[in-house]
Structure 1
Amino acid sequence: MTPSSWQQQAFAIDARVNALRASKHPNFRTQYLRRRSQLLRENAANSYDDDQSVQMERQAYLRTRVQLLQNRYGILCDLSSTRSVSARSSRISESPERRGSLSDWSLSESRVQRGDVVPTADAEASRAIVGGTTIEENYAFVGVHHIFDQHSAPVNMVKFANNDRSLLCCCSEDGTLSICNVTADPPCVVAILQGHSKAVTGCDWSSSNDFIASSSLDGSIRLWNVTAGQIPSCLRAITSCEAGTEILCCLFHPVNGNLLVTGNSKGVVQVVNVSTGINPKSGASKMGGRVQAIEFESSGQMLWAGNDKGVIFSFVLGPVNGRISKCRRLSLGDHCSVTCISWRAWCSREARDPTLLVNATNNSVYLFGVADSEGKLLLKRRFPIKHKELTVHSTFCPIMSFRQGVCVVSGSEDCCVYFFDIGNERSPCFNKLQGHSSPVLGISFNYDESLLASSDQQGLVILWKRVSRNSSSATSPTDC
């Protein structure tokens, strides 16, 4: 790990929780990050010894820093992985020789093959933080908080801002994005972002929530300035140099916010510098089909992409130079399209296994374990839903290790929202929300799990509120 890479990872960890520091004093938060950046730069400038012992000390520091912030704020489940991932070759192979060292990964291949689910039943220390309630009580989302209907076409994705319980971005096939404040009284639409000439296919918040990137069938990426207190505006439009290319998904690099990764209809995973609009050298890789879903692990050095052929590739990406290299390939079968990929690593001390959640158009939601440092995937669970054609999404619950049971939530083409307990093999579905009258496409939790947003084919966005375990009005979840 180079000094600059270590510095960026350390800064990213603090930047992601900065919104929670001194909530009534934004000037202090800005000053804190500036001083933090200055100290890290000075430390990196004075560090010339980059041997293995120094790397181990840096990794230990990053792990300790994450644990302290988790104890302080009780969130940040997706920041637990600060491992260094290295790629030795871009050649795709599933041979045993290609397996990377497992010393940096807590999930062993044998454990995944057995189907063990984490956190384990022994994770008492983590569960003690929130009490011993059942998973049905923890995820009793049975009440409607609000309904948004500002879009005239399908809303194919909804995404809450990072470490924020209020701001929600919705992207629609009507060519617009909307930003909603879901905790205002009453909830309201803050802004409508207009600029794309065709359907918006994806969006992502920057780590500081100051910017939103959006992709579209018009072949462009747009960077929007949504800094609090300013009128939202389009800062840059980056158009594909190849005519007829549709951009189907986009994602900010979790460490280097100046890099954006996109997937297009030509089967290319492309890295873009959002400041210059330039594609870095060696920053593209062709995987075939139509790249419809991409996802990073939290250090930003490992990337997964799925296409309409049912194939998932893993890539290693340089966080500084943007160089991208293929590592692994997994096929889900013929006549199957990947529409969503989500990554999480449990943050409990008992289990830190990296895991992928994948939606596919063979009526399935897959749960994969990440078995090595090159992104090899091994199947752990498969959940049935109605999904044959549309871009249905799913998500992990944000607070994974602090609950009894582990929850994943998915939309479905039968107009329902499904909750699955991945530790229950006999009857994993423990809750089903029935409020939409058309297929449910987008799903997103806010960071404290107090609200769940779901969007559908008719353009409606429903906010579901969780019933408090102490509430006398709590009702039993609908049977699946």
Structure 2
Amino acid sequence: MRLRGSPTPWGGFLSICSAVGSSSWQQAAILLELERGEKGSRGRTRRKRRPGNGCGVAAGLSSRREFRTQYIRRRSQLLRENAKAGHPPALRRQYLRLRGQLLGQRYGPLSEPGSARAYSNSIVRSSRTTLDRMEDFEDDPRALGARGHRRSVSRGSYQLQAQMNRAVYEDRPPGSVVPTSAAEASRAMAGDTSLSENYAFAGMYHVFDQHVDEAVPRVRFANDDRHRLACCSLDGSISLCQLVPAPPTVLRVLRGHTRGVSDFAWSLSNDILVSTSLDATMRIWASEDGRCIREIPDPDSAELLCCTFQPVNNNLTVVGNAKHNVHVMNISTGKKVKGGSSKLTGRVLALSFDAPGRLLWAGDDRGSVFSFLFDMATGKLTKAKRLVVHEGSPVTSISARSWVSREARDPSLLINACLSKLLLYRVVDNEGTLQLKRSFPIEQSSHPVRSIFCPLMSFRQGACVVTGSEDMCVHFFDVERAAKAAVNKLQGHSAPVLDVSFNCDESLLASSDASGMVIVWRREQK
């Protein structure tokens, strides 16, 4: 692993250290090399170092387990000292860029939801999600961005991103779907608490009842936000809520749909919301003032049942309708993308992209889950695989998650399907083929119950998922355990729990139910 123009792998890093003028940075570099060597010796067979490269002592130390605790303590001390001392911002940025290159060369390109969000946010910063005129894909796919709209991502960028995405699924060794005991440094940062201790809740933080008497099928925290929450209701409205400062309040209620709102999604920059409704329309909302920017009718004039943003290009939204079709819609033009439609075997109830935006999964009310390859340059959908979860059992929720650390590389899919089970599948190839990994008992036979992966699961041993249930409880499961997987259960709803959502740091959890109640739960502080 070398950087261009650097005589040694850490040459550029140490040059920054000398520029900063702090021996602590050099010590940190040595400690990072120790960690790198230790992880390499545990995870795979390392190549022998050539004599005279000056790293023999480091290699010897890295193989000794007793240095692990000392390393963690010293690393934390150095980070605290340097945080207090402060360093020029330019040098910090240069260090972070170099660190990113080193990690990328060591572990390969990242594809966690957080990294996809960071990639997309770079696009958003250059041009926030706006509804300026954009060249319509239907007119000429080759002319994207040629007229009236400044493109931030070129066709070549999409091709490069696609090559990076393929690395997620190719050359993946078999193993656990969750971080293992080898991830000592990551677990140390997250704390030594067990999953049961970590997901203990202190009680209800707040209860919203503005939609009482009508079901709330969807509740979502804004992206990378601790205190902004939205929920949609079958009364035809969407509520935007603020949890801090106390007391929590409903900032505004978005009205315009003439029938119930079935689903909604935040854009990555949180300035736009897209909603779908049983009135056969989707609407684009400005979250800042609550105004409806655009109303787009369904191409089939059918009830719209679900929606999701394309994670890399938020000008594109995928919707599913009651006439068995999925459509890729360009929200800048209000038109359907050419080649961006496909038919399923039933009413489309659930949609989910993988983090890089290359694979789309769609579930219907006949019990099937389809995978589609998404063309990043044109928005075209290509049907790839079909899995029958259970004939006749509606698939009400699909949630995708990718682990791309060395300890746990397997992308996974979480599915609710009216089987009184929560199903965890492994994604085995780059066409979205699914293999059942594990199932967990819940109550679900008729309601559209949803589930999620916990956002911070990759920092601790084991991994937690959360789901609603028709027994009026919120259930937590550890996906690493084959038996006794239940971690926690929250009681407080008086109707089937339909959806759950964590904020970005897992300090708050929101759950909604079939009676219109939304409960925000506060996690115990450790």
Alignment of 1:44-443 (within 5 A): 83-85=164-166, 104-105=169-170, 107-108=172-173, 111=175, 116-152=176-212, 153-227=214-288, 231-243=289-301, 245-443=302-500
Q: What is the CA distance between 1:142 and its match in structure 2?
A: 3.7
The answer as to whether partners of 2:177 and 2:410 remain within 8 angstroms in 1 is no
CA RMSD of aligned residues (A): 2.8
Take 2:405 and 2:226, find their aligned partners in 1: how far apart are those partners?
Answer: 22
Flag the structure with more relative contact order, 1 or 2, with Cα contacts below 8 A and sequence separation at least 6: 1
Residue 297 of structure 2 aligns with an amino acid whose one-letter code is T
* Alignment check: 8 A CA contact 2:168 2:404 kept: no
What is the alpha-carbon distance in structure 1 between the residues aligned to residue 472 and residue 487 of structure 2? 17
- Amino acid paired to 2:487: F
1:123/1:348 contact within 8 Å kept: no
Deviation per CA, 1:133-176: give whole Å up to 9, x if none: 11111111241100000103110110111111111110111110
TM-score w.r.t. the length of structure 1 is 0.76
Write the distance in 2 (CA, Å) between the matches of 1:169 and 1:32: 20
Deviations 1:341-398 (A, max 9, x none): 0011125442232111001101111101110000000111101100000110100000
Distance 1:42 1:271, change over 3 A: closer
**AA matched with 2:330:** N
Separation in 2, partners of 1:293, 1:355: 16
> Secondary structure of the equivalent of 1:463?
strand
The 3-state SS of whatever aligns with 1:401 is helix
Distance verdict in 2 for CA 1:199–1:32, change over 3 Å: closer
**Which letter does structure 1 place at the counterpart of 2:237?**
T
- 1:248 is displaced (CA, Å) by 0.3
Partner SS, residue 185 of structure 2:
helix
Aligned-residue sequence identity (percent) comes to: 47
Task: Tell me how far 1:437 sits from its aligned partner.
Answer: 0.8
Change (3 A) 1:192 1:106: farther
| Whole-angstrom distance in 2 between the partners of 1:369 and 1:175 | 36
Once residues 318 and 205 of structure 1 are traced to their aligned partners in structure 2, the CA distance between those partners, rounded to angstroms, is 22
Which one-letter code corresponds to 2:164 in the other structure? R
Q: Secondary structure at the match of 2:458?
A: coil
Evaluate the alpha carbon distance shift between residue 131 and residue 17 of structure 1 in structure 2; reply closer, same or farther with a 3 A threshold: farther
Paired with 2:387 and 2:227, the residues of 1 have a C-alpha distance of 37
Q: Residue 241 of structure 1: CA displacement? A: 3.6
Preserved contact between residue 17 and residue 163 of structure 1 (Cα < 8 Å): no
Distance of aligned partners of 1:11 and 1:343 in 2 relative to their CA distance in 1, 3 Å threshold:
closer
Kept after mapping to 1: 8 A contact 2:220/2:231? yes
Q: Which amino acid aligns with 1:83?
A: M
Letter in 2 for 1:191: R
Does the 8 A contact of 1:138 with 1:403 survive in 2?
A: no
Report deviation, 1:410.
Answer: 0.3
Matched residue of 1:276: which SS? coil
Contact 2:329–2:337 under 8 Å retained in 1 = yes
Give, in whole Å, the separation in 2 of the partners of 1:356 and 1:278: 30
Alpha-carbon distance change, 359 to 107 in structure 1, aligned in 2, over 3 angstroms: farther
Instruction: Give the CA deviation at 1:18.
Output: 10
Alpha-carbon distance in structure 1 between the residues aligned to 2:295 and 2:128: 32
Corresponding letter in the other structure for 2:181: A
Deviation at 1:299, TM superposition (A): 1.2
Conserved? CA contact 1:16–1:162, under 8 Å: no
Conserved? CA contact 1:398–1:448, under 8 Å: yes
Equivalent residue for 2:118?
13
Compared CA separation, residues 311 and 187, structure 1 to 2 (3 A): same
CA spacing shift, 1:315–1:13, aligned 2, 3 Å: same
CA, structure 1 residues 106+403, in 2 after alignment: closer, same or farther (shift >3 Å)? farther
How far the C-alpha of 1:411 sits from its partner, in A, is 0.3
Q: How far has the Cα of 1:455 moved from its partner? A: 0.4
3-state SS in 1 of match to 2:400 = strand
In structure 2, stretches of 5+ residues that fail to align are: 1-113, 130-149
CA distance in 1, matches of 2:294, 2:267: 15
CA distance in 2, matches of 1:248, 1:418: 25
Q: Which of 495, 502, 512 matches 1:445?
A: 502
C-alpha distance in structure 2 between counterparts of 1:132 and 1:106, whole Å: 32
The residue type equivalent to 1:436 in the other structure is H
Deviation at 1:203, TM superposition (A): 0.5
2-side partners of 1:310 and 1:425: how far apart? 24
Q: State how far apart, in whole Å, the 2-side matches of 1:106 and 1:274 are.
A: 37
Paired letter, 1:169: A
In the alignment, the residues of structure 2 paired with residue 138 and residue 82 of structure 1 have an alpha-carbon distance, to the nearest angstrom, of 37
For residues 331 and 107 of structure 1, the distance between their equivalents in structure 2, rounded to whole angstroms, comes to: 25
Say if 1:313 and 1:326, in contact at 8 Å, map to a contact too.
yes
Contact 1:106 1:353 in 2 (8 A): no
Name the CA distance, whole Å, in 2 between partners of 1:17 and 1:197: 36
**Structure (1 or 2) with the greater helix fraction:** 2
Partner of 1:462: 519
Distance 1:106 1:463 in 2: 41
Larger Rg: 2
Specify every segment of 5 or more residues in structure 1 that has no aligned partner in the other structure, as ranges: 1-8, 20-28, 34-40, 60-80, 86-101, 470-480
Q: Is the 8 A contact 2:328 2:337 kept in 1?
A: yes
Whole-angstrom distance in 2 between the partners of 1:410 and 1:43: 37
